[in-house]
Chain A
Amino acid sequence: MSQPQRPLSGSPQRPLSGSPLWEVFVRSRRGLSHTHAGSLHAPDAHMALRNARDLYTRRQEGVSIWVVRAGDVVASSPDEKDAFFDPAGDKPYRHPTFYEVPDEVQHL
């Protein structure tokens, strides 16, 4: 299996501080998705989770945290942006804008 094309953020796996880079995802409330909050260095997953708690949930931003080694994230390349995303640009019929939503429908 081939290596990820480009690690997110492009940083080397082991920077000068000696700890690998981790991407942090925080879920702010029950029912919402985890959202990328930022990244940090930590020697292992256990410490990454704790560092994430200290860095990204200081102001009650979250109820759940994921950490993922940055090197394990496979990211799309900016060079492929046109091929990846432009074809969706002229297909407005994919948006659900062609029918009326009844007033009685809630939580949509």
Chain B
Amino acid sequence: MTTTTEVDLDVATYCLRLGDDALVLAQRLCEWAARSPQLEEDVALLNLALDLLGQARSLLTLAGVREGRGRDEDALAFLRDEPDVVNLQLVELENGDFGRTMARQLLVAAYAVPLWQALCASTDADLAAIAGKAVKEVAYHLDHARSWVVRLGDGTEESHRRVQAGFDEVWPYGFELFEVDPLLERLIARGVAADPAALQQVWRATVEEVLAEATLVVPETGWRPTGGRSGAHTEAFGYLLAELQHLHRSHPGVSW
């Protein structure tokens, strides 16, 4: 058995963060099952969720390997309590109406595209391999979100009002996407992680372009909620986690 180094632990935490983002957003999107505006959109949203779940599985598995404590993807997904789950608060926000879900999707996807593009060149070969697959998936996620935001924003009076309200609600949570802490600084210096400063420019340009095309305005707010990376979550998160974990916890080791 190889020795776990400091770098391994940093990479494990980084993978855990990205994996939790994907896992939690997948769970949220699953809530649309059988509730979408159209049957076609039901399948589309769950396709996105399945992509994200696949990313989460790869990332949590890699996190478990690097951590070296014998935890597999299931142990990490189903057996951590709320303070140990380190996703961004943006991805755990409740779906709201379809407009708000699409607003959240756009903010996440416009970040995920440059993130995974950058990680394709990560000095960590395993992470770069995951990125190589994810980058194609999130390109479609951005296309999907962009298509809907433009149609809702530049659609009817009601769709415009509702998707704008959705952006107003989720916008403050976007700042957390680009926070940097000492762990991230170490990984950026090693060429493992993507630098949020570079991502933010691309993100901002993408989001502003889509909002302009959708005749929506960029929300202005000074409120910057934060804390997801250190396990602080919104009130709704406990219910999400309970639904995600209860089967595995009630029936340990259960499988299809």
* Smallest Cβ-Cβ distance to A48: which chain B residue: B40
CA distance A82 to B44 in the complex (A): 42
Q: Would you call A47 and B147 a contact (CB within 8 A)?
A: yes
CA distance A13 to B74 in the complex (A): 48
Size category of the binding interface on chain B: 10 to 19
- Which among A41, A50, A55, A58 is the interface contact of B147 at CB below 8 angstroms? A50
Set of chain A residues within 8 Å of B248, measured between Cβ atoms: none
Set of chain A residues within 8 Å of B147, measured between Cβ atoms: 46-47, 50
Set of chain A residues within 8 Å of B38, measured between Cβ atoms: 17, 19, 41
Set of chain B residues within 8 Å of A44, measured between Cβ atoms: 151
CA distance A47 to B147 in the complex (A): 8
What number of A residues sit within 8 Å (CB to CB) of B?
14
Judge if A42 is at the interface, Cβ distance under 8 Å: yes
Q: Would you call A41 and B47 a contact (CB within 8 A)?
A: no
Against A, the Cβ 8 Å flags (1 = close, 0 = not) of B143-163 are 110010001000000000000
Judge if A28 is at the interface, Cβ distance under 8 Å: no
Set of chain B residues within 8 Å of A47, measured between Cβ atoms: 147, 151
* Smallest Cβ-Cβ distance to B39: which chain A residue: A41
Judge if A43 is at the interface, Cβ distance under 8 Å: yes
B166-208 at interface with A (beta carbon < 8 Å) = none
Judge if B43 is at the interface, Cβ distance under 8 Å: yes
CA distance A44 to B151 in the complex (A): 10
Q: Would you call A43 and B151 a contact (CB within 8 A)?
A: yes
Set of chain B residues within 8 Å of A54, measured between Cβ atoms: 40, 43-44, 47
Set of chain A residues within 8 Å of B43, measured between Cβ atoms: 51, 54-55, 58
CA distance A41 to B44 in the complex (A): 13
* Smallest Cβ-Cβ distance to B155: which chain A residue: A43
Q: Would you call A40 and B151 a contact (CB within 8 A)?
A: no
Q: Would you call B40 and A41 a contact (CB within 8 A)?
A: yes
Known: A43-B151, A46-B147. Contact between A51 and B47, CB under 8 A? no
Against B, the Cβ 8 Å flags (1 = close, 0 = not) of A31-51 are 000000000111110110011
Q: Would you call B151 and A50 a contact (CB within 8 A)?
A: no
CA distance A54 to B37 in the complex (A): 15
* Smallest Cβ-Cβ distance to A46: which chain B residue: B147
* Smallest Cβ-Cβ distance to A58: which chain B residue: B47
Q: Would you call A51 and B151 a contact (CB within 8 A)?
A: no
CA distance A98 to B38 in the complex (A): 53
| Nearest CB on B from A42, distance (A) | 6
B202-239 at interface with A (beta carbon < 8 Å) = none
| Nearest CB on A from B53, distance (A) | 14
* Smallest Cβ-Cβ distance to A40: which chain B residue: B40
List residues of A whose CB falls within 8 A of some B CB. Answer: 17, 19, 40-44, 46-47, 50-51, 54-55, 58
15 A-B residue pairings within 8 Å (CB atoms): A17-B38, A19-B38, A41-B39, A41-B40, A42-B40, A43-B151, A50-B44, A50-B144, A50-B147, A51-B41, A51-B44, A54-B40, A54-B43, A54-B47, A55-B40
For the A-B complex with A50-B44, A50-B144, A51-B43 known, give 6 more contacts whose Cβ atoms are closer than 8 Å: A43-B151, A46-B147, A50-B143, A51-B44, A54-B40, A54-B47
